[in-house]
Structure 1
Amino acid sequence: MSGKAAKEIWSWVRSIILAFILAFLTSIFLIQPYKVEGHSMDPTLHDQERIMVSKLSHTFDYEPDYGDIVIIDSRVERKRSFTDDISENALYQLVSHQKQNSFLYVKRVIGKPGDVIELKNQKLYRNGELLKETYIKEPMVVMAEGKWTVPKDHIFVMGDNRNNSRDSREIGFVPIDHVLGKKVLGF
């Protein structure tokens, strides 16, 4: 092999490696695809639907808004680290042959720090005001009424399919650093 051919091959290899590194960093810090698993967000999002998630809220650690659809780490009892961000990355999982993380949930933000969330008479209230939720699948069948005050640096999330959703009613409040991104596009 000539020196010119070796330089050409190295140029291509270097370009491919650089492209992979840029894609990896982009998907950790800026935007990442995500596949919805399950029916907890019906009718807004459907099982196996693909969405694009902005990672900026996680990268810069800011609080999502009411109604935002977010990806959360449901393991709310444990601390997160940068290592989690790497190992949960779709590109990393593709290269390392890992399965998608079953502890990542897609939910809607219902309460922010200081809010009082209440379920009573089959309806949802935030700070004493009835929420008008046109996006939910069907009226809630509430087994037990409940009242929660969202602590500092946490949010309260629920799925749009309230009768088939594992959310803050079960897992508890979600620390802000467990909000991994916000849905920006579905396809």
Structure 2
Amino acid sequence: MTINWKKVWLIILIVILSFAALILLFFQTFGFYRVSGTSMEPSLKNGGTVTLLKWDHSPKPGEIIVFSHGSYHFIKRVVAIEGDTVEGKNNTVYVNKKPLKEEYLKTKPSFQDFGPVKVPENAVFVLSDNRTNSLDSRDMGPIVKDKIRGVLIAY
């Protein structure tokens, strides 16, 4: 029995190219970021790693996103979407005049009043879970969806 080396090398080449294509697809679909800072505590810990789905640029309220602002990437929670009006008063966030239920927070954060802000088309309003000392839409304004890198799927 003779070995057809052309077929063997063709199979090896196909396996290598398939593996390379899968790796490329994986990294085009998923992103990995290291949490830097305490702005999302208690949900995300400083130094932890998060995984996001890069293709999702239409997050829903309550989801955590990664977005770029200037030369930095931020990880924040979406609290309002386009068309919503968001306001913070007396340490409570209101979306469309209804108090926001934030079960993900262990303690109610204290923060300065803000708004009301109507979220423009093609944008979201984000807040940190730890609102005492953090940059979010209260400072940066609503986040345009083009700046969203993805929605967290594992943290």
TM-score range, shorter chain: 0.7 to 0.9
**Equivalent of 2:94 in 116, 120, 125:** 125
Query: What's 2:81 paired with?
Result: 112
**Equivalent of 2:68 in 58, 70, 73:** 73
> Does residue 64 of structure 1 match 2:33?
no
Query: How far 1:15 moved relative to its partner?
Result: 6.7
Q: How many equivalent residue pairs?
A: 151
Say whether the 8 Å CA contact 2:91–2:113 is kept in structure 1.
no
**Equivalent of 1:149 in 115, 118, 128:** 118
Query: How far 1:181 moved relative to its partner?
Result: 0.8
Provide the C-alpha distance between the structure 1 equivalents of 2:48 and 2:64, rounded to a whole number of angstroms: 14
Query: How far 1:16 moved relative to its partner?
Result: 6.3
Give the partner amino acid of 1:141. S
Which runs of no fewer than 5 residues in structure 2 stay unpaired?
1-7
Which runs of no fewer than 5 residues in structure 1 stay unpaired?
1-7, 76-101
String of CA shifts for 1:3-49, please: whole Å, max 9, x gaps.
Answer: xxxxx9xx989976874564244322x11222111111100110111
Query: What's 2:4 paired with?
Result: none
Query: What's 2:49 paired with?
Result: 50
String of CA shifts for 1:110-131, please: whole Å, max 9, x gaps.
Answer: 0100100011112110000001
String of CA shifts for 1:50-96, please: whole Å, max 9, x gaps.
Answer: 111111214xxxx1111011111123xxxxxxxxxxxxxxxxxxxxx
* Structure with more helix by fraction: 1
Say whether the 8 Å CA contact 1:71–1:104 is kept in structure 2.
yes
Provide the C-alpha distance between the structure 2 equivalents of 1:73 and 1:41, rounded to a whole number of angstroms: 16
> Does residue 174 of structure 1 match 2:128?
no
Provide the C-alpha distance between the structure 1 equivalents of 2:81 and 2:135, rounded to a whole number of angstroms: 18
**Equivalent of 1:165 in 134, 137, 147:** 134
Flag the structure with larger Rg. Answer: 2
> Does residue 41 of structure 1 match 2:36?
no
Question: TM-score with structure 1 length normalisation?
Answer: 0.69
Say whether the 8 Å CA contact 1:136–1:162 is kept in structure 2.
no
SS of aligned partner of 1:163: coil
* Structure with more strand by fraction: 2
SS of aligned partner of 1:177: helix
Provide the C-alpha distance between the structure 2 equivalents of 1:144 and 1:179, rounded to a whole number of angstroms: 26
Query: How far 1:139 moved relative to its partner?
Result: 2.8
Say whether the 8 Å CA contact 1:111–1:155 is kept in structure 2.
yes
